[in-house]
């Protein structure tokens, strides 16, 4: 088990400047996997580089080693920086899709408005706040009206063809990419009242809006990735650039956009917490299934009353344990806007 305080005591000369030099050296040796966007260095090279700088990081390298190579990742950099500086955790609040159409509009979720006062109360406890929003074009592939009119083709493998489809059924669309797609009412159309945040949701001075679902041919439940893992929003890079270690997720809907946002946050190595009173789902059974799926991925579910104390936590050593879990099923850690992503095989 990696212990941050022990690591710090074993490396008394470790400084942020030294960390920077270490990773400049590591970056000079890094390679790109032809099949993924993973950046890595050979374990022996990483060990030699850190040894040269006087950093005894065997256990830390163990945590970040995949298939014998060490992932060159901002997560690893952040852990070394934390060891060097003793910085506390950095929390971010991700508010998912608290928009008019999901509360009073075409795709209203039962008791959706109940999340608003809970979120408003939590907001002031966070330095970093991100509000995701569905921001769909009129010809979006998730709209039943478009699939029904065959604006988007359904696959020959689909049991239901577009012209025969009904609202809320699931079809296989050609995309690209070819994916299963639940057919929804038109909602959150760009520039519409339905796409606006609910009037009672506070505007926080430090908030950033993150639009998603803007590509015509693929839906986007997660605040990080589209449903086909072919493109991503700026959210991941914004979290990294602000040194975020832990994210708290809330909003609408539990079984879709909240759940998939939480799963993606966890697979990217962030400690991920969902607030029970600040989420609502489309259906009870699918919401329960998503909660179970999230818990299996290491996502925590807590009461809103615990948030003031939660954001005061300082120990970052648990981040290494999360890397152990993440690396078992997700090897792509570092992503930027110019890289293409190949999802892991489950």
Active site residues: 97, 212, 257
The residue to which tokens 């648990």 are assigned: 318
Distance between CA atoms of 34 and 78, rounded to whole angstroms? 26
Beta strand 128-134 with 207-212: parallel, antiparallel or unpaired? parallel
DSSP structural state of residue 305: G
């Amino acid at each position: 088990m990696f212990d941050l305080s022990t690591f710090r005591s074993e490396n008394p000369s470790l400084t942020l400047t030294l960390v920077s030099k270490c990773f400049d050296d590591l970056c000079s040796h890094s390679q790109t996997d032809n099949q993924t966007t993973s950046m890595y260095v050979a374990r022996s090279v990483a060990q030699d580089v850190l040894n040269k700088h006087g950093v005894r990081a065997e256990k830390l390298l163990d945590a970040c080693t995949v298939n014998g190579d060490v992932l060159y990742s901002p997560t690893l950099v952040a852990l070394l920086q934390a060891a060097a500086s003793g910085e506390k955790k950095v929390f971010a609040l991700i508010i998912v899709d608290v928009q008019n159409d999901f509360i009073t509009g075409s795709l209203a979720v039962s008791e959706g408005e109940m999340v608003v006062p809970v979120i408003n109360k939590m907001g002031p406890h966070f330095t970093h706040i991100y509000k995701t929003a569905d921001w769909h074009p009129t010809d979006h592939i998730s709209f039943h009206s478009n699939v029904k009119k065959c604006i988007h083709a359904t696959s020959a493998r689909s049991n239901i063809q577009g012209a025969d489809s009904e609202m809320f059924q699931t079809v296989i669309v050609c995309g690209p990419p070819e994916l299963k797609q639940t057919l929804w009412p038109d909602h959150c159309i760009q520039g519409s009242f339905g796409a606006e945040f609910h009037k009672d949701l506070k505007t926080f001075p430090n908030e950033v809006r993150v639009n998603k679902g803007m590509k015509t041919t693929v839906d986007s439940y997660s605040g990080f990735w589209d449903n086909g893992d072919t493109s991503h929003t700026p959210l991941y890079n914004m979290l990294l650039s602000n040194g975020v270690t832990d994210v708290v997720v809330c909003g609408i809907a539990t079984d879709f956009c909240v759940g998939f946002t939480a799963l993606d946050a966890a697979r990217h190595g962030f400690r991920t917490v969902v607030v029970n009173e600040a989420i609502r789902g489309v259906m009870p059974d699918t919401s329960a299934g998503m909660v179970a799926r999230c818990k299996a991925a290491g996502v925590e579910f807590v009461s809103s009353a615990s948030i003031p104390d939660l954001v005061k936590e300082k120990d970052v050593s648990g981040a290494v344990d999360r890397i152990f879990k993440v690396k078992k099923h997700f090897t792509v850690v570092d992503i930027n806007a110019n890289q293409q992503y190949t999802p892991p095989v489950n």
